[in-house]
Amino acid sequence: EQTIKNYEDVDSWKTIMFLYTSAIKTVEMKLEILNDEFQHVHQYNPIEHIKTRVKTPESIVKKLRKYEKEISVENMVKYVNDIAGVRLICSFTSDIYRLANMIASQTDLKIIEIKDYNKSPKDSGYKSYHMLVSVPVYLSDGMVDTKVEIQIRTIAMDFWASLEHKIYYKFEGNAPAHISRELRECADMVSTLDEKMLSLNEEILACSREQERK
C-alpha cells in the first residue's frame, strides 16, 4: 500500500511497467519460435512450458529495501534485475544448456549476467540456470533496451522451488531448522531423479536409433 505512492512519478512507473511487459512478450515469442524450430528439425521440444510474470510492486519494494536502496523508479530499474521474469521449464537437465546456448546465440539479446545455480546450487538446495538478458523494445519514438531474467530449470527442480518458495515466505526466511534440512534432502532427491530420468531417456533414444537401423 505504501508502495506506489512513494514513487515520484506515476506516469513513468506506468511507462516502465509497459516496457517490462513488452520485453516479456518479445522474449516469449522468440523462445516459442526456437522451440517450434527445434521440433521441426529434431522432432523434439526442449521447452515443456513457459511461465512469465512481472514482479509485483510490493516485491520490488521489498528487494530495494533488502539492497538498502531508496525506493525510486530510477533505483528499481537500476538494481532490481528480475522485474520481468520468464521461466523455462524443461524435461531434462541436458535441455537446460541446450536452451541456454540457443538463447545466447540470439544476436538481438544481450547477455548481462549468468548465474548457474544448477552447477553451484544455493545453500537452500535451489537449482536453476539464470540468464539476465536485455532485449530491445521498439516504441514509436525510439528503442529501449529492457532487462529480463530468464530462469531455466527442469520440471522436478520447478516442483521443488515452488514449494520451497511458499515455505520461505510463510516463515519469512526463518524456517525451522528441520524443515530447511528436509527441503535440502528433497533437493538431493530431485537431483537424483533428474539424473535417472536423463540416463533413462538416453537409453530410450539409443533403443529407438537401434530399431531404426534394423
Interacting residues toward ligand 0O2 by CB under 6 A: 55, 59, 63, 81-82, 115, 122, 124, 126, 130, 161, 164-165
Q: How many residues does the chain have?
A: 214
Q: How far is the CB of 127 from ligand 0O2 (least distance, A)?
A: 9
Indicate the residue among 123 and 212 with the shorter CB distance to ligand 0O2: 123
Closest to ligand 0O2 by CB, 163 vs 205, is 163
Shortest-Cβ-distance residue relative to ligand 0O2: 126
Indicate the residue type of 29. Answer: M
CB of 29 to ligand 0O2, least distance (A): 22
Question: Can you state the angle between helices 177-213 and 155-170, rounded to 10 degrees?
Answer: 170
User: What is the smallest separation between the CB atom of 175 and ligand 0O2, expressed in angstroms?
Assistant: 11
Alpha carbons 206 and 212: distance in angstroms, whole number: 10
Shortest separation between residue 105's beta carbon and ligand 0O2, angstroms: 22
* Residue 38 or 149 having the CB closest to ligand 0O2: 149
What would the grid cell of residue 75 be?
A: 533505483
Min dist CB 155 to ligand 0O2, Å, is 15
Distance in angstroms (rounded) separating the CA atoms of residues 41 and 111: 26
Residue 196 DSSP SS3:
helix
CA of residue 82 relative to chain centroid, distance: 9
Name the residue nearer to ligand 0O2 (CB basis): 25 or 115. 115
**Is the separation of the CB atoms in 129 and 118 below 8 Å?**
yes
- Evaluated on CA atoms 128, 134, 140, 141, the torsion sign reads positive
Q: Of the two residues 37 and 188, which places its CB atom closer to ligand 0O2 in the complex? A: 188
